[in-house]
A and B are shown apart, each in its own frame.
Chain A
Amino acid sequence: EVQLLESGGTLVQPAGSLRLSCAASGFIFRNYAMNWVRQAPGKGLEWVSAITDSGGRTYYADYAKGRVTISRDNSKNTLYMQMDSLRVEDTALYYCARVISGRYDHWGQGTLVTVSS
């Protein structure tokens, strides 16, 4: 069974930093691209960042460029997202999701990031 388990979300002050993790199991992690998708309270889904299966290429939403770094450790079956210079508007539930042919076929349960003073 495919499982994705996010962690690392917490309350952080504006301008602070945070690292989210997503532990994968039940599939060959190194064979799949992975993404982070977020959902602000009461809002729709919004793509944040993506990484190829090997980790060789990364992609970011415009609002995340320069503040977010996606990475992965295929030996540990884990996806990461380092978030710096956090803003109040970054408050959201952050999901990791497995990508295949342009669709998100498996999602984690999400980890909540709250940016507030």
Chain B
Amino acid sequence: DIQMTQSPSSLSASVGDRVTITCRASQSIGSNLNWYQQKSGKAPKLLIYTASSLHSEVPSRFSGSGSGTDFTLTISSLQPEDFATYSCQQGYSSPYTFGQGTKLEIK
């Protein structure tokens, strides 16, 4: 199975900050990397697919980049509603594995 490793595991930031979360795959997955946002007590929501494409109605302050084994999720200017847990997921080969999640908290 492909292992997905995110860093950091948690992050404190302020409204207006620029934030970057990293995801690394244990082998090359091309651009088959997706990002999800999960707020407390809620189901995950797809944010970004195939590394850099924004899912419908996702604000443009979210962006993704990378290919092969290294990927990043960037939030250009944090808004209060962005404090949540973010998870990456590889869609390259079954089983579709997830990173362990990055919890983004208010500083």
Count A-side interface residues using an 8 Å CB cutoff.
Answer: 19
With beta carbons under 8 angstroms apart, the residue of A50, A59, A102, A109 that contacts B43 is A109
Contact with A along B34-46 (1 / 0, CB 8 A): 1010000011111
Which single residue of chain B is at the shortest CB-CB distance from A47?
B95
**Chain B contact residues, majority secondary structure:** loop
Query: Does chain B have a CB within 8 A of A66?
Result: no
Docked CA distance A43–B73 (Å): 20
| Size band of the interface chain B makes with A | 20 to 34
Docked CA distance A104–B42 (Å): 15
A102-B100 in contact given A45-B44, A59-B94, A109-B43 (Cβ < 8 Å): no
- Give chain A residues whose Cβ lies under 8 Å from the Cβ of B95: 47, 59, 61
Q: Quick check: B44 and A107 within 8 Å, CB to CB?
A: yes
Q: In whole Å, how far is B57's beta carbon from the nearest beta carbon of chain A?
A: 12
